Homo-oligomer: A and B are copies of this chain.
Amino acid sequence: MPKTLAELQTPSLILDRQKMQRNIDRMAARAKELGVPLRPHLKTPKSVHIAKHLQDAGAKGFNVSTLQEAEYFYEGGFDDLYYCVPFAPIKAARAAALAAKGCTLTLMTDSMEGVEACIAAAEAVGPATPLRFTLELDVDGYRCGMPWQGNDFIEAAQRLAASSATEFVGIMSYGGASYGKTPEGAAELTTTHLAALRDTASRLEAAGVPCEMISFGSSPAVLHSKSMEGVTEARCGIYTFQDLFQAGIGACAVDDIAVSVLTSVIARQPQHNRFVIDAGGMGLSKDRSTMGHPFDAQYGLVCDSVTGKPIGDLAVTTVSQEIGLVTSLSGKEVDLSAFEVGSTVRVLPNHADMTAAAYEDYFVVDGDDQIQAHWTRQNYWT
């Protein structure tokens, strides 16, 4: 086990535990202030070690983005898991097997035909306990969900409640459109979502299918909204790590970003005013979600390998599969003497989820270059 960053093979994924804890505590405090239980998303960290930190900060349960995450986290001791992606019927047997082990696994679908397909698949499997289903509302057209104003929505809930293989447990919506908005815009969007959720919950209750779960999410929505009245839980994900996209929309500071890629300088090219690192599209991801932001670090912001602080305006401006080219965003001359071949830098990610998914483990530090722990991640789907 390497003791310091200098002993690590490159590229490696580094997690600053202090920054992560600060992010976790801040969101826990925010949820407390809003008086809403928090259900953090595990699609970002994908590690039981990190789920433990979130649980210690008061998480009421977790979201997962794949059924495999649900299987992995249940094995790791976490038993209230919300797989909040429209459910693919081919996964019914796996979901039933996990529920049969004792996992409180909640699923989601978002149309009458989705309901029928899920019921048919569930009935074909014959689960030991009914599969728990929620329905998503399409409040703003951003991604998934079904129109919530009509009778279809009520009938879909009733169908889930009526089958012996499924159970209707509630509703959710996702304020993903908040990512493109100002803090005020995100708060306004939240108000619209909460009104739709409350209205739908009332109508469902009146129709004999009450909601145990009324779930709303997106990190910016929870950060900026003034109230979470009427929901039973708030869902947030990326805040655990944060990233340059989140910094770009004002949801965090660059100094809050808890994950980075440690990479070796493998060449210097004074003739092109740049140096070369052994992390490229594969190790940093090709996420360019910061494109169009006032500050856009291209494929990642380059930092000191020990302190984790940005070095001027150095960024990874070009990537090949395993190679990144680093230069100054403003075009000014780079002091290449500071970047000898064999020295290291760290790169902050545009989108932490995508970058972290390139690695099977984290090397954990506490603000310096001493490796405190080695935590595994769970990638893939099956």
On whether the beta carbons of A138 and B88 are closer than 8 Å, the reply is: no
Which of the 9-residue segments A15-23, A155-163, A246-254, A352-360 touches chain B? A352-360
Among B65, B271, B318, B341, which residue has its beta carbon within 8 angstroms of that of A89?
B341
A219 is an interface residue with CB less than 8 A from chain B: no
Q: What per-residue 1/0 map shows which CB atoms of A84-117 lie under 8 Å from chain B?
A: 0111111100100000000000000111011001
Q: Say how far A358's CB is from chain B's closest CB, in angstroms.
A: 8
Q: A143-B320, A143-B323 are in contact. Are A267 and B342 (CB under 8 A)?
A: no
A130 is an interface residue with CB less than 8 A from chain B: no
On whether the beta carbons of B266 and A88 are closer than 8 Å, the reply is: yes
| Chain B residues in 8 Å Cβ range of A198 | none
On whether the beta carbons of B267 and A147 are closer than 8 Å, the reply is: no
Docked complex Cα distance between A70 and B315 (Å): 29
Of all chain B residues, the one with the shortest Cβ separation from A94 is B9
On whether the beta carbons of A85 and B360 are closer than 8 Å, the reply is: no
Number of interface residues of A (CB under 8 A): 66
| Chain B residues in 8 Å Cβ range of A143 | 276, 318, 320, 323, 325
On whether the beta carbons of B43 and A321 are closer than 8 Å, the reply is: yes
Of all chain B residues, the one with the shortest Cβ separation from A11 is B381
On whether the beta carbons of B110 and A342 are closer than 8 Å, the reply is: no
Among A65, A110, A282, A289: residue with most chain B CB under 10 A: A282
Q: A88-B342, A286-B286, A320-B176 are in contact. Are A269 and B9 (CB under 8 A)?
A: no
| Chain B residues in 8 Å Cβ range of A269 | 111, 138, 144
A224 is an interface residue with CB less than 8 A from chain B: no
A229 is an interface residue with CB less than 8 A from chain B: no
| Chain B residues in 8 Å Cβ range of A381 | 9-12, 283
Q: What per-residue 1/0 map shows which CB atoms of A132-146 lie under 8 Å from chain B?
A: 000000100101100
Of all chain B residues, the one with the shortest Cβ separation from A141 is B272
On whether the beta carbons of B176 and A281 are closer than 8 Å, the reply is: no
A255 is an interface residue with CB less than 8 A from chain B: no
Docked complex Cα distance between A89 and B10 (Å): 10
A203 is an interface residue with CB less than 8 A from chain B: no
Chain A 247-304 residues near chain B, CB threshold 8 A:
264, 266-269, 271-272, 276, 278, 281-283, 285-289
On whether the beta carbons of A321 and B65 are closer than 8 Å, the reply is: yes
On whether the beta carbons of A382 and B12 are closer than 8 Å, the reply is: yes
Docked complex Cα distance between A299 and B41 (Å): 24
A166 is an interface residue with CB less than 8 A from chain B: no
On whether the beta carbons of A286 and B285 are closer than 8 Å, the reply is: yes
Among B111, B282, B288, which residue has its beta carbon within 8 angstroms of that of A354?
B282
| Chain B residues in 8 Å Cβ range of A90 | 8-10, 264, 342
| Chain B residues in 8 Å Cβ range of A285 | 285-286
Residue positions of A touching B, CB distance < 8 A: 8-12, 43, 65-66, 85-91, 94, 109-111, 113-114, 117-118, 121, 138, 141, 143-144, 147, 176, 264, 266-269, 271-272, 276, 278, 281-283, 285-289, 318, 320-323, 325, 340-342, 351, 353-354, 357-360, 380-382
